[in-house]
Amino acid sequence: MKRYIVLAVTSLAMLSATAQDTYENARVLGSDLNGTARYVGMGGALEALGADISTMSTNPAGIGMFRHSYASVSFGGVHQEEVNKFDNLGKTNLSIDQAGFVFTMNLFDEDAYVNFGFNYHKSRNFDQIIQVNNRFTHPASLNKLAFAKNTFGSDVAGGYSLNNYTGKWMGYRNSAEVNDYGYPFTQWDYLYQNVYNVDDKNVANEQEPDIIFNDADNYYFDKSHRGWIADYDFNVSGNVRSRFFWGFTLGLHTINYKGYSLYDEEILSGDGPSIGTMVLEDERRITGNGVDLKAGIIFLPIEESPFRIGLSISTPTWYEMKSENYTVLHNNTVTPENYKPWGYDYLSSDDVYEYKYYTPWKFGLSLGHTIGNYLALGASYEYSDYSTADTRIYDGTYDEYDNENSYSDRVMNNHTDRTLKGVSLLKLGAEFKPDPSIAVRLGYNYQSAAYNEKGFRDTTLDSPGTYFSSTPDYVNWKGTNRITAGFGYRVNKISFDIAYQFSNTKGMFYPFQPDVEFDDPNGTWETNISTPSSLNFKRHQLLFTLGYTF
């Protein structure tokens, strides 16, 4: 245990602007490979081949290839490898993944159609368990990081200045500030400073409190993610003489996410032995609604050839989001001999805040070719620059339609630019029909990493997104490989399809930002170095689709 005397200055704080940080927001970027079993079985490579209801959200022109009205529903389950049940979330979970229809209208000649469609699909399935057990290879702990940020003294330097004017120890912008909390003063900073770091019981009257920290030996982390992003797509599409196809889709999106985590550190005394544990328990819910527009074309450039090219574009999804958390720090350490107890056995923090988030633009290029009536080949490429995502803060003013105005969170967006990067998505697929009623499918899908390897969740940022964060952990996920296979059978107007998907994503988990250096009040140089742990997220999906042509 290390104890220091620091000067605390009385001040009063208010904070009104709200936002969220890069890593919390990034979970809503992109989408899973999900939809109909035909689409999944071919790795999603149907943007140029078309005539599948799932292309409504990727290349809307694909719906223009339907010549008969059609309806389908898809359902199945996912299974995660190498984890144990946590927070009542099991390794296997069922899901309703898609339901929609296309209504075709033949116009003035047999080669001219205008089609209308609606499709619901689950673009993100958040169900995931993360479990980590590791040992710090360098002296570090989360309470030490909170201590370090207080030594920085101001928000400009990435920290804050402590005082207890309100009856709790709060972090202010600097020692002279009397109005505002410092944005780097996170909810978990508040908990650690009040539960453990500030000892105001073992000092003489009117003396400043001791500010302490202890290193940790091991850390344990368990987290359950659950929920989804649901997309509701409305499409109009058509064709010109079966050589040029066009389409537009209006997409409505709803977010329903819940995360629950336990972060446990085994705390060491100054002499080395364990003195107990400290456990940070956090529950976070994120909800929201968004809207976007998509447009696409498919054309056959060569006369008398079925070879086709597809082009698509999607606007950002303009989200309005709300984040809620309830966080508790449990102090299970023993009080040193001859010391009075200080702080709390546990303390909680909760908050609710709203903000806007605009995802990046997305662009697509696809190729398709058929050989007779027995073989279809598809390839698709999509690109979206995640580093351009825009976290926005409500400013308290309203436009003429009573909508609250917002502005970009410059500091957090700069961090997003440094942390995230452009993401490429490659899809390859094939469908073989040995008989008109039977289809066999194979696919491969690869999505490149969204995170820079050296990116980290910076809790020293002077941004509202930092202030409202309740945990410091993060994962830098690498690229995702998906291998798929499927089978289809058709009897008259009824079709039945099944698909299997295996996806694998590796990543590095960090309990908090990797390396913070600081001088303690006695002038001793200290470091707080986070030890990462490798993750391997393996998931299996089995998907069924029942379709009807009318």
Q: Give the model confidence (pLDDT) of 179-190 as tens digits.
A: 789 999 999 999
Q: Is 381 exposed, middle or buried (0-12, 13-18, 19+ CB in 10 A)?
A: middle
The residue among 234, 245, 241, 235 whose CA lies nearest residue 61 is 245
Q: Which DSSP helix (H) or strand (E) runs through 411?
A: helix 410-419
On the question of pLDDT at 271 being above 90, the answer is no
On the question of pLDDT at 157 being above 80, the answer is yes
Q: Specify which residues 120 forms β-bridges with.
A: 99, 232
pLDDT exceeding 70 applies to what percent of the chain? 96
Q: What is the pTM for the complete model shown?
A: 0.93
The per-residue pLDDT for range 41-77, each reduced to its tens digit, is 999 999 999 999 999 999 999 999 999 999 999 999 9
The per-residue pLDDT for range 86-103, each reduced to its tens digit, is 999 999 999 999 999 999
Question: What's the pLDDT score for residue 11?
Answer: 34
The per-residue pLDDT for range 463-507, each reduced to its tens digit, is 999 999 999 999 999 999 999 999 999 999 999 999 999 999 999
On the question of pLDDT at 437 being above 60, the answer is yes
Cβ–Cβ under 8 Å, residues 81 and 270: no
> Residue 45: CB partners within 8 Å, gap ≥ 6?
366, 378, 379, 380, 427, 428, 429, 443, 445
Planar angle of CA 171, 17, 419, nearest 5 degrees: 80
The per-residue pLDDT for range 139-153, each reduced to its tens digit, is 999 999 999 999 999
The per-residue pLDDT for range 233-244, each reduced to its tens digit, is 999 999 988 899
CB atoms within 10 A of CB 278: 24
Mean pLDDT of the 522-528 span: 90
On the question of pLDDT at 342 being above 70, the answer is yes
Question: What's the pLDDT score for residue 229?
Answer: 98
The per-residue pLDDT for range 308-331, each reduced to its tens digit, is 999 999 999 999 999 999 999 999
CB atoms within 10 A of CB 94: 9
Question: What's the pLDDT score for residue 403?
Answer: 87
Cβ–Cβ under 8 Å, residues 157 and 61: no
Phi, psi torsion values for 22, nearest 5 degrees: -55, -50
How distant is the alpha carbon of residue 224 from its chain centre?
Answer: 13
The mean pLDDT value of the chain amounts to: 94
d(CA 364, CA 227): 27
Mean pLDDT of the 256-270 span: 96
The residue among 406, 355, 361, 407 whose CA lies nearest residue 387 is 361
Cβ–Cβ under 8 Å, residues 486 and 499: yes
